[in-house]
């Protein structure tokens, strides 16, 4: 289906908040895991804001997609949990620090000061890498996969990934002229690095930890990328080419369907 011939968007596509029961079940497992690994303990001045920052950040579909990709390639959900947790923690830090960038403008209060947002964010990022490194088995048979996932996540959230998107987005907001074609093109680059890159990383990490083949990993990376692009464009009201993105996402799943795998759960991510 070409972009020109696309039908009107179904209503649920215009709602950026994830709400599907499959997503909700995966997300609940990740949050339960994080609550267990981050108990509310002394010193309260450290752990209370950490909980607040992690569990009040807007939910995304990135960590849940990581688990779904792991299950698709035959892994157990639990194997991808450290990666899903690290992704959630990195995104919560990005959200807290984005909030800090607003400090000179209309910055909504949230009960904690800027210094807490800054330092708590800085604390949860290494905690995510710690969770990953600690998830190695005693026989060290998973070490190679875990190190690969650490590289994947570092790159996706790093200076050429998520941080670059946040910087560009912040700059674009200052100059905003939403009608300018250059603005639209820049916004597309932001979405590629932010929603696209993070979902690609989440899906690839899930496939790596679930023991997927190289082809499965790369198919799921592309699937995640198109899922993230669809979401990010939609959230910014950039509707051109959306149906193509959804088709490209679906095409990646055909590979798994042809091999008799159940793509039902993961395919729901296309419609968020």
Tell whether the torsion through CA atoms of 266, 30, 32 and 53 is positive or negative: negative
Residue 58 contacts its own copies per CB under 8 A: no
Segment interacting with its own copies (CB under 8 A) among 118-126, 175-183, 224-232, 249-257 = 118-126
Residue 204 contacts its own copies per CB under 8 A: no
Q: Are 235 and 272 in contact (CB under 8 A)?
A: no
Using the minimum distance from each CB to its own copies, give the nearer residue, 146 or 203. 146
Binding to its own copies, residues 71-100 (CB under 8 A):
90, 93-94, 97, 100
Residue 46 contacts its own copies per CB under 8 A: yes
Using the minimum distance from each CB to its own copies, give the nearer residue, 143 or 254. 143
Site size for its own copies (CB under 8 A): 50
Using the minimum distance from each CB to its own copies, give the nearer residue, 110 or 244. 110
Of 6, 22, 148, 222, the one binding its own copies by CB under 8 A:
148
The pair of structure tokens assigned to 209 is 């930890």
Residue 101 contacts its own copies per CB under 8 A: yes
Of 23, 127, 223, 225, the one binding its own copies by CB under 8 A:
127
Q: Are 200 and 69 in contact (CB under 8 A)?
A: no
3-class DSSP assignment, residue 19: coil
Pairwise CA distance, residues 143 & 146, whole Å: 5
Of 29, 136, 218, 244, the one binding its own copies by CB under 8 A:
136
Residue 158 contacts its own copies per CB under 8 A: yes
Tell whether the torsion through CA atoms of 76, 79, 81 and 84 is positive or negative: negative
Closest CA to 194 of 142, 245, 233: 233
Within 10 angstroms of residue 157's Cβ, the number of other Cβ atoms is: 22
Using the minimum distance from each CB to its own copies, give the nearer residue, 140 or 259. 140
The pair of structure tokens assigned to 43 is 């010193």
Give residue 161's Cα distance to chain centre. Answer: 12
Closest CA to 98 of 176, 171, 38: 171
The pair of structure tokens assigned to 72 is 């698709």
Q: Which residues of this protein are in contact with its own copies, per CB under 8 A?
A: 43, 45-47, 50, 90, 93-94, 97, 100-101, 114-116, 118-127, 129-130, 132-134, 136, 140, 143-144, 146-148, 150-151, 153-155, 157-160, 163-164, 166-167, 170
């Amino acid at each position: 289906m070409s972009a020109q011939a696309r039908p009107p968007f179904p209503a649920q596509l215009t709602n950026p908040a994830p709400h599907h029961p499959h997503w909700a079940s995966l997300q609940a497992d990740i949050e339960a895991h994080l609550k267990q690994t981050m108990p509310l303990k002394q010193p309260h001045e450290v752990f209370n804001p950490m909980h607040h920052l992690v569990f009040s950040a807007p939910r995304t579909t990135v960590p849940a997609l990581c688990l779904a990709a792991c299950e698709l390639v035959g892994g157990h959900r639990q194997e991808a949990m450290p990666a899903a947790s690290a992704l959630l923690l990195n995104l919560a830090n990005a959200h807290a620090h984005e909030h800090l960038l607003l400090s000179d403008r209309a910055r909504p209060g949230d009960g904690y000061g800027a210094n807490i947002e800054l330092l708590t964010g800085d604390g949860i990022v290494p905690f995510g890498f710690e969770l990953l490194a600690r998830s190695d088995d005693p026989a060290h048979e998973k070490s190679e996969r875990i190190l690969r996932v650490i590289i994947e996540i570092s790159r996706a959230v790093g200076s050429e990934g998520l941080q670059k998107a946040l910087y560009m987005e912040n700059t674009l907001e200052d100059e905003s002229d939403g009608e300018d074609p250059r603005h639209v093109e820049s916004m597309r680059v932001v979405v590629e690095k932010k929603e696209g890159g993070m979902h690609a990383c989440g899906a690839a990490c899930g496939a790596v930890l679930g023991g997927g083949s190289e082809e499965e990993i790369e198919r799921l990376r592309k699937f995640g990328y198109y899922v993230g692009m669809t979401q990010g464009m939609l959230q910014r009201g950039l509707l051109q080419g959306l149906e193509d993105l959804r088709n490209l996402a679906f095409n990646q799943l055909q590979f798994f369907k042809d091999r008799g795998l159940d793509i039902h759960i993961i395919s729901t991510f296309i419609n968020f």
